[in-house]
Structure 1
């Protein structure tokens, strides 16, 4: 062993210890002195019950420890204390039921002894009877009088009304969830920091030193969406729910209805049909349909389901019903819960994209070594960026066909890569084509990922053509290969087209335009110029970030002409995948892509993404849910670039540059290694920071308005920031 290698290896035993110790110190400080700052601030406080100074005319105090909001604009409660109020504690009252899961929200006004009137704050605060830790509220600023303004409560709201304690002693409190978040963030930094030893280990899946970390990472990233779904605990209503705004019932059970239809040998859904709806000249006119529903309430009208020739149909892909709902019903006789189907598809899809991340690393590794660190980073990044974890907590059945489409698309690409690595293995090639073809029975636009095959197999296609021109056995082999690549598509497409023909009289009609939704999909089209704003909104819209929990709120989408608008939290690059901003530096790294002959592959992925994006944007405009359809394509391009960059800057000699003694005349080489090391630190430092930012955004986005977080979880997490 030479001296340089020995010098580089000696500190390896300590390379993990230092960052672990730093992480331990930082987390300890955060837990003891930041998140528990109120404990230290109130350790010497003298609690006293506040004096009740009366209520506004819009708040009616009644017996039994309750008050009723009669006019939110004039609903308030005034309390005061003989000493400045730093914190308040909402005492328990008998009217609070242990099972109550409601929030009591207010805005604070304060007045000091030197003030002649009230000073109003504008942030919503409050508490939930189901969260003990939320009963503590920060006031500060030396105020002796506090007004709680209930203007955010609805008229008629009943709120608990009891004693309030000023300057309580806030107990020290630790949260397992908060600690888990801190540990995951620390783990990402430790593993993927620029000087991580993982970047000096070559990915070799035949060795346990690579296989075990990859297996652990794959298991962890596959379970994250399930953990987020369980944390949010979305309501799994088995029956359609009534939406007042549309005077219709949301057909949330249509996958089960589709499964029942399949088991009974029919194509339509057995929802009762309102004769007035069937008699409308244009049932897709939302305004007219609402009026019809209100005028003829005897039979419900259903929402977000296709309606054609007097019958209801599901325009969502049929494959989830064939693979999940129908078999489950046939075997058990019971309906499959939406959350169960979500857990299955989200887990399998997440597993498939981690497999794709590894397969891409193996593909790139043929021409330039890929490090274990880059491969693990790619797996984690794919989990954040594929869009599944970003919306899974909503618990919507809409995600099921999307997740299944991503599952088969990622699996198809992985099988194609394996077929390429094995010299065009025919069974693997056919299996990849079958998986990719199945996406049309889930989300038709995802089938556009098929175009990735062209640059992926470009060398093989050219070589097959050259050999086939010679005739004989080479031509027969070429025909076999093309048959294995194309026949699976026919195997899937023909039944799907026949299914479309049976439902809508046209084999290419999947039924989306017959959807009874918030606008007339059969007649509405976005102006082409509006797609520029859609690109901005989907990709680079800055997020709506505040300094008040939950710190993240939906961002508005200005539209020049009316379009269906759904919750968006900012552009994909700035929310779900900030690390993917590396794609904007592609022109800088084009030499790295050329070095591994991957420029065409990235270009092909971008073409597939662009076409899928146009389809989604044309259908509905901005909608965070639609990112699942094409985000995995962007992540595929990102991973190819990541592995190319890794091969250039994370070389063994670059990592050891600081320990090598150069002889006279090697200044040029030394300077080159120095700048490579600087580039490595900047690039992978940004990637590491991007992963942590994605983690934090993913976590807190769950608590934004409209994300269905249980009230107790919401207020427990909000209480972490009591010191603010």
Structure 2
């Protein structure tokens, strides 16, 4: 509503009437979809007569029970399994039958019945003509008991109107109508300082932050009871710091580990039964926290000192997610102010939303384990820092310029203590401050900018000193962050380099098509095994960033259109960010493996390059490509981007996912896609 107020304030009465008529039409389409399409099964079973075929029995964990065959000699439209699961959430039901086209019985795949999801008790069946005989097999998972109250066929499916689904459809179609028609939204431009636009932008930002809270707490296994010992490194470091040591004093080193020739060959350690702390840094007989120190000093250690309790990892990730979202909005705003003269406000807002909810970043907040803490912290500080630098360049107020430079450098410096490879993003400072208008008009290293130059470097030095000291205290080298000392699944010291592994990994990181099918949760990990003749480390992957994430399609458009008119610092930024993204992707691919969270290391560089190109294409004053095509294509890409982010949230393929860790929520979300 606020967005419409911002836009209709400058619209003519004729266009307002057209908007009202269009919104009414969208409302009617939404009602049709919600009532008739998503409730198709209700209409399909409206005149059905329910027939119970079994009732009142229980199935113990790890067992299956088949009901007696029931003679129907008529149509069967669905099966209703009224099951309550004890000590768990799911039971599994398969249907077996003979029909007009099949003399011998055949079975269907199992469908899941879940506590908390009434719609999951129904399953449509599609026999060949009339069914002769039918029975079901109920299976209970290990450790559970499935109490079957009744099994019924041809039960009428109740209407299920879901307001949230209807609202989402209405919102998407309304925005599509506004963008695909010659509506006034194309003439309402982003205006820095416009109070109404600021209010709407802040509302959008806070809504994303609220959504992040839901995503952050969805995986209950990581929130309620993190079950891996090595996910407590930050908490253990807080205890050690209180004692004045950077050594993890609570972790005892087994004497046999001290005698091993190569303690980083963890396969040998497992084979010989030598205990070791998985994924901890091990150096000269001591255990250290492998991860960056900044999250510890900003969150875990102060929290422990103030409360005496350990800070959960998911709270730390959400705190950094707030920084990230604010930084993303600030960064996009700064880029639009600097490189666009006529950006429609609605498209600017969608740009902010798309960046904030890019799948790689949603993955971090929705899978809140210790590995993701320094990554999302580094991304958040990078975006906020570069955004503040842009504010310094865009403002004419001297005090604000100096404050923004100082805070920007502080945030960027903090990145080194989170995720060191992300420091490469800060190289944009060279282009922004020195090369933007040529060296002769540089913003730093001049007589007039002495104070600004000092303010730029002072926070970087102030942060670098303790970070370097921490490295030296652990590993005797101020530039050694400890990557090679991790007791992980492979020996990082002898991993080496080869082009086969590099190119194979880059393909999966960048160009692997997502594996999608027609059944919820729709997306699954690609098969990463291949025929690599060596140890290729991989977990799962939902698709390469240039193929699966539609937000990146602006990069493809730039390559296809060969937009030679993109010149100067803008072109320099795009080229630099693309190079940085490739460098980080190559580094992670060769140094670690094909692991989805590592896409979050190089995603920021590619996302920023894509943002710059979208700004160029959507700026009506440039005319590099047809604006009508650009705006429509952009909207489609944003919708596809958000869909992919949603699929990443619900996707299976990992041991840590909603399907395993929060079965009720997983199935309740699935109810939205049952027709």
User: Could you say if the C-alpha distance between residues 195 and 216 of structure 1 is closer, same or farther in structure 2, counting changes exceeding 3 Å?
Assistant: farther
Equivalent residue number for residue 140 of structure 1 = 126
**Which one is further off, 557-566 or 405-414?**
557-566
Structure 2 residue 663 is the aligned partner of structure 1 residue 684: no
What is the rounded CA distance, in whole Å, between the counterparts of 1:633 and 1:195 in structure 2? Answer: 34
SS of residue matched to 2:310: coil
Taking the aligned partners of 1:109 and 1:600, their CA distance within structure 2 comes to 64
Report the CA distance between 1:421 and its aligned residue: 2.4
Conserved? CA contact 1:419–1:426, under 8 Å? yes
User: Quick one: structure 1 residues 722 and 460, their matched pair in 2 at CA, closer, same or farther if it must change by over 3 Å?
Assistant: closer
CA distance in 2: counterparts of 1:134 and 1:14, whole angstroms: 43
Alpha-carbon contact 1:101-1:712 (below 8 Å) kept: no
Offset at 1:235?
Answer: 3.1
Larger mean Cα displacement after TM superposition, 492-501 or 520-529: 520-529
Structure 1 gaps of 5+ residues are 1-6, 53-62, 242-249, 469-473, 652-674
Distance in 2, Cα, partners of 1:116 & 1:466 = 83
Question: 1:466–1:634: structure 2 CA closer, same or farther, 3 Å change rule?
Answer: closer
Change (3 A) 1:291 1:160: farther
In 2: Cα distance, 1:518 partner to 1:267 partner: 24
8 Å CA contact 1:277, 1:283 repeated in 2: yes
Contact preservation (8 Å) 1:51, 1:79: no
Counterpart for residue 199 of structure 1: 186
Q: Which has the larger radius of gyration?
A: 1
Q: Distance in 2 between matches of 1:132 and 1:467?
A: 63
Contact 2:495/2:591 (8 A) holds in 1 = no
Tell me which residue corresponds to 2:541: 568
Offset at 1:562? 2.0
Match runs of 1:280-679 below 5 Å = 280-292=260-272, 295=273, 301-365=276-340, 368-385=341-358, 387-422=360-395, 425-459=401-435, 462-463=438-439, 476-477=447-448, 480-559=451-530, 560=532, 561-575=534-548, 577-587=549-559, 588=561, 590-594=563-567, 598-648=570-620, 679=626
State the match for 2:58 in structure 1: 65
CA shift digits 1:346-386 (9 cap, x unpaired) = 12211111110111101113xx3333133112101212327
Partner of 1:713: 665
Larger CA deviation: 639-648 vs 228-237: 228-237
1:634-654 Cα shifts (integer Å, max 9, x gaps): 121111111111224798xxx
Pick from 70, 81, 99: which aligns with 1:112? 99
Report the Cα offset of residue 8 of structure 1: 8.6
Equivalent of residue 78 in structure 2, options 87, 94, 110? 87
Contact kept? 1:78, 1:145, Cα under 8 Å: no
CA contact (8 A) 2:506 2:586 kept: no
In the superposition, relative to structure 1, how do residues 8 and 189 fare at CA in structure 2: closer, same or farther (>3 Å)? Answer: closer
What's the secondary structure of 2:231's corresponding residue? Answer: coil
Tell me: CA distance 1:520–1:77, structure 2 relative to 1, closer, same or farther (3 Å): farther
Q: CA RMSD in A?
A: 3.0
Q: Could you tell me how far apart the structure 1 residues matched to 2:443 and 2:334 are?
A: 28
**Within-5 A mapping of 1:241-252:** 241=228, 250-252=229-231
Report what 1:699 is aligned to. Answer: 646
**Following superposition of structure 1 onto structure 2, how do residues 22-41 of structure 1 map, counting pairs within 5 Å?**
22-41=25-44
1:127 corresponds to 2:107: no
**Contact 1:606–1:634 at 8 Å: present in 2 too?**
yes
8 Å CA contact retained: 1:15, 1:197: no
For 1:412 and 1:357, locate their aligned partners in 2 and report how far apart those are by CA, in whole Å. 12
- Aligned to 1:111, the other structure's residue is in SS state strand
Measured in 1, the distance between the counterparts of 2:209 and 2:32 equals 31
Q: Conserved in 2, the CA contact under 8 Å of 1:592 and 1:645?
A: no
Equivalence for 1:274: 254
The superposition leaves residues 82-102 of structure 1 with CA deviations (integer Å, 9 ceiling, x where unpaired) of 232211111346xx44xx433
Decide whether the 8 Å contact of 1:136 with 1:722 is kept in 2.
no
Q: Which runs of 5+ in 2 are unaligned?
A: 1-9
- Partner Cα separation in structure 1 for residue 170 and residue 443 of structure 2: 56
* C-alpha displacement of 1:154: 6.2
**Residue aligned with 1:118, SS:** strand
TM normalised by structure 2 equals 0.88
Give the distance between the partners of 1:238 and 1:92, measured in 2 at CA. 27
Query: The residue matched to 1:101 in structure 2 has which SS?
Result: coil
SS at match of 1:16: helix
Q: What secondary structure sits across from 2:329 in the alignment?
A: helix
In the alignment of these two chains, the number of paired residues is 651
Partner residue in 1 for 2:3: none
Residue in structure 1 matched with residue 242 of structure 2 by the alignment: 263
Aligned counterparts of 1:285 and 1:454: Cα–Cα separation in 2: 42
Match of 2:658, SS state, is coil
**Superposition pairs for residues 130-169 of structure 1, below 5 Å?**
130-141=116-127, 142=129, 143-146=131-134, 148=136, 158-161=145-148, 163-169=150-156
Instruction: Sort the Cα spacing of 1:226 and 1:69 in 2 relative to 1 into closer, same or farther, 3 A.
Output: closer
C-alpha contact 1:102 1:129 (8 A) present in aligned 2: yes
Contact (CA 8 Å) 2:113, 2:120: kept in 1 or not?
yes
Q: CA 1:115–1:611 in 2, change beyond 3 Å: closer, same or farther?
A: closer
What residue number does 1:42 align with? 45
In structure 2, what is the Cα distance between the partners aligned to 1:597 and 1:239? 46
Decide whether the 8 Å contact of 1:103 with 1:128 is kept in 2. yes
Q: Is the 8 A contact 1:138 1:722 kept in 2?
A: no
Classify the secondary structure of the residue corresponding to 2:264: coil
After TM superposition, give the deviation of residue 199 of structure 1 in Å. Answer: 2.7
How far, CA to CA, are the matches of 1:418 and 1:521 in structure 2? Answer: 41
Q: Distance in 2 between matches of 1:194 and 1:614?
A: 43
CA deviation profile, 1:542-561 (whole Å, cap 9, x unmatched): 11111111111111224413
